[in-house]
Chain A
């Protein structure tokens, strides 16, 4: 396809990493995560020929994945309007016996806006630097700092010290 990179090597190096990034932003929706990873690499097949700096590949892939994740979250938000009417009839989505402590974090993350959630997750969990996070979110450094700080504050408020989480919701 005319790319300057070996697709197999690229896939082997970054597919797992990208899957993890998307997982942490989206939450536990396996099929959708696979879709985003696949679409990101399809974009990569077409767009990587334009990238000449190998060190920029990872951040470029993350940017594409974040963009696709945003679209998915927007679609999910629209569908949630219809889901509201069927909420009483929908099956329970999680079994308390299989819950893990970290699910508490994902639950809290789902309750804050994605503009705050995505930069916070990339920076705090994925440990991207602030400039990398700003590039992935396609916003300025100042904006990303402000959003991360706001997300941190909201999560602290929501999660508290871990003993009164039900009351915090």
Chain B
């Protein structure tokens, strides 16, 4: 029999955890079990609240794009309708077009005068 076997025999015979001590731990065990059950319940409730919140958020997002709600196309149309009165770019363009017309009228009048002068010249030459 080796020294190790002797020590193993001693270890087996040793009183390591007596009945009184084990009994003393019993109530503590039950308290821990309750604490753990309570903690688990809280975690479950928190999880359920998160899932419910996400679900409600999803419904609200879908509701915003429902047929009765103002759509992006309607908003676009409104902006198109408003544009001629409020868009500064278009008013600049229309002012420019008015000036262009006046210029065209002036050019046409000058051109007519030039043609008339030429006709007079030609007439003169023809007369000559």
Flag if B25 contacts A20 (CB, 8 Å): no
B residues in contact with A139, CB < 8 Å: none
Stretch of B10-18, B41-49, B54-62 at the chain-chain interface: B10-18
Complex: how many Å from CA A20 to CA B19?
A: 11
A37 at the interface (CB under 8 A from B): yes
Complex: how many Å from CA A34 to CA B20?
A: 13
Residues of B within 8 A of A (CB): 2-4, 6-8, 10-12, 14, 16-19, 21-23, 25-26, 28-29, 32-33, 36
A102 at the interface (CB under 8 A from B): yes
B residues in contact with A33, CB < 8 Å: 17
Flag if B17 contacts A16 (CB, 8 Å): yes
Flag if B3 contacts A160 (CB, 8 Å): yes
- Contact check: which of A11, A22, A101 meets B7 at CB < 8 Å? A101
Other A-B contacts than A18-B17, A34-B25, 13 sampled, CB-CB below 8 A, are A11-B22, A16-B18, A20-B16, A23-B17, A37-B25, A38-B28, A41-B33, A105-B7, A105-B10, A152-B4, A159-B3, A159-B4, A159-B7
Main secondary structure of the interface of B (DSSP, over half): helix
Complex: how many Å from CA A100 to CA B22?
A: 23
Flag if A19 contacts B16 (CB, 8 Å): yes
Flag if A102 contacts B17 (CB, 8 Å): no
A55 at the interface (CB under 8 A from B): no
Main secondary structure of the interface of A (DSSP, over half): helix
Complex: how many Å from CA A94 to CA B16?
A: 17
A96 at the interface (CB under 8 A from B): no
A residues in contact with B32, CB < 8 Å: 38-39, 42
Complex: how many Å from CA A90 to CA B18?
A: 30
A45 at the interface (CB under 8 A from B): yes
Flag if A19 contacts B22 (CB, 8 Å): yes
- Contact check: which of B3, B12, B14, B28 meets A161 at CB < 8 Å? B3
B97 CB to nearest A CB, Å = 82
- Contact check: which of B11, B17, B19, B25 meets A105 at CB < 8 Å? B11
